[in-house]
């Protein structure tokens, strides 16, 4: 436990004790606590309850998870192993539907295992060891690629920032959403390392307050000047000339550039267009989904009404009767024509996104 996260990776794996280690984000900012995941149920709950969250961090967790759970699997032959792997992957994939990194990482791990399972080795124990060794290398590669991708997005995004700028963020696309650096905050961290002066304004991001609990916490504790604002204060900040750029992350980018991100992001993009402020989406290639034609094809997760009515209150702060209901989608989709550019590890993409996304993904 402690009060600082900057010496910790958000997600890691302990080889000696066979467990996934994550920072429990439901306890932040008051408590920094590492928790340990060893069963499928614990991993599922950690993803569903947002103990680990952020598309890249979820993907890294999923990679570690399938390796760990198949290592514990007592399958007696190749067919039983394959059947159990599919069942386990399907179960984990059902924990959250919107972030493509979850299914991407699980599918990547399954393909890795399948390549080795299809080898000419016939003795099961030898083959099992080879499969698990390949899966271990693959899940750690996913982790290392995430760190590298965030660093490179930071370098590209840094070219879009001027010294003295005010930057608005929404939700948390910081190091807590990845292993290190973050996606939308990576340019901010690199600018800070270079001695540039920035002022970051964090939307609180109702109803789960990721901007308040996570982004404002991690940026301010890194020594970056940070101001917290309620979501409905963004227009006021923009009108006052305090915002020179908006940087957000995303959970899925469609083939046409539509981007699903935490609820409220599309409203920020509309405001930015009104005030002539550039709106940048930072997207690892793992978050871009060419198989999804447009944002209309993205499944939006609906979450528990209690997150809105009582989660952060001592008492329920809404009516409780049969004429009352709660609308609580986790994400919304920002239309591609509201996005100034998409920052990826392979460069900055601009419209028409159908072409630039196809080029970078090929």
User: Token pair of 202, please?
Assistant: 């964090």
Last residue of a domain, one of 146, 178, 208: 146
Which positions ≥6 away from 87 have C-beta within 8 Å? none
Q: Is residue 63 in a domain?
A: yes
pLDDT tens column, 330-351:
999 999 999 999 999 999 999 9
CA distance 100 to 54: 11
Q: Which helix (H) or strand (E) holds 359?
A: helix 353-361
**Does residue 251 have a pLDDT over 70?**
yes
User: Token pair of 197, please?
Assistant: 């002066």
Both 136 and 160 in one domain: the answer is: no
Q: Is the dihedral of CA 244, 4, 174, 158 positive or negative?
A: positive
Q: Please give the torsion angle defined by the CA atoms of residues 102, 55, 343 and 212, in that order, rounded to the nearest 10 degrees.
A: 170
Give the residue numbers spanning the domain of 279: 152-361
Distance of CA 23 to the CA centre of its chain: 14
- Per-chain mean pLDDT for the chain: 96
pLDDT-derived band at 1 (thresholds 50, 70, 90) equals very low
Helices 124-158 and 78-93: crossing angle in degrees, nearest 10, is 30
Both 156 and 281 in one domain: the answer is: yes
Q: Is residue 2 in a domain?
A: no
Both 136 and 162 in one domain: the answer is: no
pLDDT tens column, 210-222:
999 999 999 999 9
User: Token pair of 132, please?
Assistant: 């698990």
Both 216 and 324 in one domain: the answer is: yes
Both 140 and 199 in one domain: the answer is: no
User: Token pair of 137, please?
Assistant: 């290398």
Both 251 and 163 in one domain: the answer is: yes
Q: Is residue 204 in a domain?
A: yes
Burial of 121 (0-12, 13-18, 19+ CB in 10 A): middle
Identify whether 251 is a catalytic site residue: yes
Among 251, 258, 289, 332, the one annotated catalytic: 251
pLDDT tens column, 9-23:
999 999 999 999 999
Both 181 and 296 in one domain: the answer is: yes
199: left (phi over 0), alpha (psi -120 to 50) or beta: beta
- pTM summary value: 0.92
User: Cis before residue 226, ω within 30 degrees of 0?
Assistant: no
Number of domains in the chain: 2
pLDDT tens column, 59-117:
999 999 999 999 999 999 999 999 999 999 999 999 998 878 999 999 999 999 999 99
pLDDT-derived band at 3 (thresholds 50, 70, 90) equals low
Q: Please give the torsion angle defined by the CA atoms of residues 349, 354, 359 and 362, in that order, rounded to the nearest 10 degrees.
A: 120
Of the candidate ranges 64-78, 92-106, 249-263, 271-285, the one whose mean pLDDT is the lowest: 92-106
Residues forming beta bridges with residue 199, ordered by sequence position: 166, 225
Both 262 and 323 in one domain: the answer is: yes
Q: CB–CB of 167/200 below 8 Å?
A: yes
CA distance 244 to 230: 18
CA distance 153 to 158: 8
Q: CB–CB of 53/177 below 8 Å?
A: yes
The CATH number of residue 244's host domain is 3.40.50.10470
DSSP 301: P
In this prediction, residue 2 carries a pLDDT of: 47
Q: Which helix (H) or strand (E) holds 259?
A: strand 259-262
Q: CB–CB of 214/27 below 8 Å?
A: no
Cα-flanking dihedrals φ and ψ of residue 236, to 5°? -60, -45
pLDDT tens column, 153-197:
999 999 999 999 999 999 999 999 999 999 999 999 999 999 999
Last residue of a domain, one of 130, 146, 162: 146
CA distance 141 to 48: 24
Last residue of a domain, one of 120, 146, 172: 146
Helices 55-72 and 40-48: crossing angle in degrees, nearest 10, is 170
CA distance 265 to 263: 6
């Amino acid at each position: 436990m402690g009060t600082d996260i900057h010496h910790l990776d958000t997600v890691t794996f302990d080889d000696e004790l066979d467990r996934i280690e994550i920072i429990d984000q439901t306890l932040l900012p008051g408590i920094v606590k590492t928790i340990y995941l060893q069963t499928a149920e614990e991993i599922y709950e950690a993803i569903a309850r947002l103990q680990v969250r952020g598309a890249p961090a979820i993907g890294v967790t999923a990679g570690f998870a399938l390796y760990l759970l198949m290592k514990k699997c007592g399958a007696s032959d190749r067919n039983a192993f394959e059947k159990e792997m599919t069942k386990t992957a399907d179960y984990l994939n059902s924990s959250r539907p919107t972030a493509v990194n979850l299914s991407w990482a699980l599918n990547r791990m399954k393909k890795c295992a399948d390549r080795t399972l299809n080898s000419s080795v016939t003795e099961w124990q030898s083959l099992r060891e080879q499969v698990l060794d390949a899966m271990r290398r693959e899940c750690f590669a996913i982790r290392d690629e995430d760190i590298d991708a965030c660093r490179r997005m930071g370098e590209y995004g840094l070219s879009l920032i001027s010294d003295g700028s005010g930057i608005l963020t929404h939700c948390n696309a910081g190091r807590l959403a990845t292993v290190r650096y973050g996606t939308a905050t990576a340019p901010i961290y690199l600018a800070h390392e270079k001695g540039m002066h920035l002022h970051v304004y964090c939307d609180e991001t109702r109803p789960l307050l990721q901007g308040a609990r996570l982004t404002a916490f991690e940026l301010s504790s890194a020594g970056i000047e940070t101001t917290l604002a309620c979501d409905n204060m963004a227009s006021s900040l923009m009108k006052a000339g305090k915002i020179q750029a908006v940087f957000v992350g995303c959970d899925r980018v469609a083939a046409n550039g539509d981007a699903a991100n935490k609820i409220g992001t599309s409203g920020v993009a509309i405001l930015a267009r009104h005030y002539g402020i550039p709106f940048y989406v930072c997207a690892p290639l793992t978050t871009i989904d060419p198989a999804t034609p447009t944002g209309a094809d993205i499944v939006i997760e609906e979450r528990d009404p209690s997150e809105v009515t009582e989660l952060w209150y001592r008492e329920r702060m809404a009516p409780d009767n049969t004429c009352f209901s709660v609308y609580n989608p986790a994400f919304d989709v920002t239309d591609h024509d509201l996005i100034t550019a998409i920052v990826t590890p392979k460069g900055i993409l601009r419209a028409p996104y159908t072409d630039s996304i196809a080029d970078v993904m090929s």
